[in-house]
Every structure is written in structure tokens, then in C-alpha cells.
């Protein structure tokens, strides 16, 4: 298997089907160039509209969170049901450093990555012999425990009432700006960095090891792959990524509480982008993260801001989508492209 290119790999448990024809390299590069140009210009184009800028910022945050979860689940086969435990550690690390010690969030993001990565290391050690549902339940339970601890130790975390970060207008060194636009660009840079990390991993032996362990851990072990070490690497990298996202989230709303940091909804928010967009694809979490926020905002508008009905709306749409297209939006795109190529070949 060549390591010179990154391929779209079906997620664990998927049946083996003939690969759909891929777009020519020039078309792919042109497509990515268009995406980069649009991403660079869009924040400026909507800068005068705070609502649209806020929605775009949320998209960048949940695309990044989806990319972090997908690296773990989509490529190494470890399904975290409590990814909020890493997200929340990152959010509180940045918030506490800023609020209590007046340390710049730029440093806080690095501390968030380290803290969440260390938590991933601990969970990896605890779950060394666990996989599948059992691994997912451990992460889920960890998020619940950390949420309870955050509520209890009010002197450190602000307790159940939460922690409001001080408003410091026009202080870029504290990651606070006059408009949302700079934060949107920070989010876009984070998305690009996470995508690059994923590509670099997949183009190296470590990426092949990830997928070998995902597809058949017994065969991978027999072939000499250190499955425990591979799973640990994937978990730590994914956790660190989620921690950074949590730090940016806290800074973007200048508030954090146990529910928004460690709540079940944040774990679901990490999973939905990859599921909606398509597991085992580079673009899946990106497409899914954007569509997820669009559906969430549509639900909020249709329900006049009623959170319960909003969640019901977008959850129903997602489930219906998965019933029709279990491989996500990227799977639909591949199927359409394959049919068009087949028709062209028969003409």
C-alpha cells in the first residue's frame, strides 16, 4: 500500500465495494483553491452582520471538533461517546487561566491541548484492553464525572452558575477584538491545521497503522503493528485537538459552565459532523459541520428560539438523512460521481 497519497477509506465495519472513480488531480486542486478563496473572503464579506459572523464562527468551531472526533473514530475505529470530556477540559483550562491568572488565551489554547492530551493518555491507559462500546462508555462516563466535579468545585470553576470571562475590548493579546471576524479567521486556521494534521498522518505509516487497527486489530497485531500504542496515539492526538477547540469555544462566548463544557450535547456535536458528512473521508466532517450548524440555526428560527424544538428538528432531519444516505453527504457525492462516470463510459 502506497503512502504517497491520501485516500478516502471506508469507516470500520463498512462493506468492501469497488472504489468510485476519483476526480482528476487538477480538478481536485482547483476545487480546494476555490474553497480556500471563499473561506478567506467570506468573513470580510459578512463582517457587518454580527449574526452571520457568529454563525460562521460556530461552523468553524464544530468543523474542528468534528475533525478531532473523526480522526479517532473514522480512522482508528475508536468511537468516543463522551468527546466532551476533552472539549470541556480545554474550555476550562483556557477560561481559568484567563479569568483567575490573567494569562493570555493564546497560551491557554496550548495548555488546553496539553491538558486534554494528558486526559486522553489516562483514558487510553485505563481502556488499554477495551474497545468498541466499552471504550465509548468510558469516555461518556468521564465527561459526566468531570461535569459533576466542575459543578462541585465552584471556587475554581464557578460551579453550576458558570464562569463569565472578563470583557477586554480591543485586546488582541487576550484574544478579544472589536468584531467577530478575527475569531472567525482563527477558527478557519484551526480547521486548516486539523485538516493538515489528518492528511500528514494518513500519508505516513502511522496513518496506515491507524486504519489497519481499525479494520482488523487481530490481523494488525499479527502483522507486527503495536495496536495499543497506535490506539493511544490516535486518542491523545484527537483529545489534544478537541481541547484546543474547547478553549476557542470558551473564548468565543466568554462564558463556560459544566453543561456547555461537558454536557451530552457537546459530545453529540462532536459526532454529528462526521456522521452527516461521511465517515472515512477528509471532507466529511467539513461538510457535516457546516450542515449541522445550518440545521441547528434553521431549527432555532422555525421554533422561535425554543431549544427543545430546535434540537428535535435538526435531530430528526439528521436521522432521516442517515436513513436515506447512511454514508453521509460524501457518500451521496461519490455515488452520483460514479453514476455519471458510468453513463459517460457507456456513451
Of 156, 27, 128, 141, the closest CA to residue 80 belongs to 141
Mean pLDDT of 21-31: 63
pLDDT-based confidence at residue 44 (cuts at 50, 70, 90): confident
**pLDDT reported for residue 324:** 85
Round the CA-based radius of gyration of the chain to a whole number and report it.
Answer: 20
Grid cell listed for 267: 459530545
**Model confidence at 275: pLDDT above 90:** yes
91 contacts 244 by C-beta, under 8 angstroms: no
Tell me which residue has cell 495496536.
227
pLDDT digits (tens, 9 = 90+) for 104-149: 999 999 999 999 999 999 999 999 877 778 999 999 999 999 999 9
- CA 77-81-87 angle, to 5 degrees, is 105
pLDDT digits (tens, 9 = 90+) for 288-335: 999 999 999 998 888 887 777 778 888 888 888 888 888 889 888 888
Count of CB atoms within 10 A of residue 289's CB? 29
Q: Which helix (H) or strand (E) holds 255?
A: strand 255-256
**pLDDT reported for residue 25:** 60
Low-confidence winner among 4-8, 28-32, 333-337 (lowest mean pLDDT):
4-8
The pTM is what? 0.88
Grid cell listed for 233: 496515539
**pLDDT reported for residue 6:** 42
For 76, phi and psi rounded to 5 degrees?
-115, -5
Amino acid at each position: 500500500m502506497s503512502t504517497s497519497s491520501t485516500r478516502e477509506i471506508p469507516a470500520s465495519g463498512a462493506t468492501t465495494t469497488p472504489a468510485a472513480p476519483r476526480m482528476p488531480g487538477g480538478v481536485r486542486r482547483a476545487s480546494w483553491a476555490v474553497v480556500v478563496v471563499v473561506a478567506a473572503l467570506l468573513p470580510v464579506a459578512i463582517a457587518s452582520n454580527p449574526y452571520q459572523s457568529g454563525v460562521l464562527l460556530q461552523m468553524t468551531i464544530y468543523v474542528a471538533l468534528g475533525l478531532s472526533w473523526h480522526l479517532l473514530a473514522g480512522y482508528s475505529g475508536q468511537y468516543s461517546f463522551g468527546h466532551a470530556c476533552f472539549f470541556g477540559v480545554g474550555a476550562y483550562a483556557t477560561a481559568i487561566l484567563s479569568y483567575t491568572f490573567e494569562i493570555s488565551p493564546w497560551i491557554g489554547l496550548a495548555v488546553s491541548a496539553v491538558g486534554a492530551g494528558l486526559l486522553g493518555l489516562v483514558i487510553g491507559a485505563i481502556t488499554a484492553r477495551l474497545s468498541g462500546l466499552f471504550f465509548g462508555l468510558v469516555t461518556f462516563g468521564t465527561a459526566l464525572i468531570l461535569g459533576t466535579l466542575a459543578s462541585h468545585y465552584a471556587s475554581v470553576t464557578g460551579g453550576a452558575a458558570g464562569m463569565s470571562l472578563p470583557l477586554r475590548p480591543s485586546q488582541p493579546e487576550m484574544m478579544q477584538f472589536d468584531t467577530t471576524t478575527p475569531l472567525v479567521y482563527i477558527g478557519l486556521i484551526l480547521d486548516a491545521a486539523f485538516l493538515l494534521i489528518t492528511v500528514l498522518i494518513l500519508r505516513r505509516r502511522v496513518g496506515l497503522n491507524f486504519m489497519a487497527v481499525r479494520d482488523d486489530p487481530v490481523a494488525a497485531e499479527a502483522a507486527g503493528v503495536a495496536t495499543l500504542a497506535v490506539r493511544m496515539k490516535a486518542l491523545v492526538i484527537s483529545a489534544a485537538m478537541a481541547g484546543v477547540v474547547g478553549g476557542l469555544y470558551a473564548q468565543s462566548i466568554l462564558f463556560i459552565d459544566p453543561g456547555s463544557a461537558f454536557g451530552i450535547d457537546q459530545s453529540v456535536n462532536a459526532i454529528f459532523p462526521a456522521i452527516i458528512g461521511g465517515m472515512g473521508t477528509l471532507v466529511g466532517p467539513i461538510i457535516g459541520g457546516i450542515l449541522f450548524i445550518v440545521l441547528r440555526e434553521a431549527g432555532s428560527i422555525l421554533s422561535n428560539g425554543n431549544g427543545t424544538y430546535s434540537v428535535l428538528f435538526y435531530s430528526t432531519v439528521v436521522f432521516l438523512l442517515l436513513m436515506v444516505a447512511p454514508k453521509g453527504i460524501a457518500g451521496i457525492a461519490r455515488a452520483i460521481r460514479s453514476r455519471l462516470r458510468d453513463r459517460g463510459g457507456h456513451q
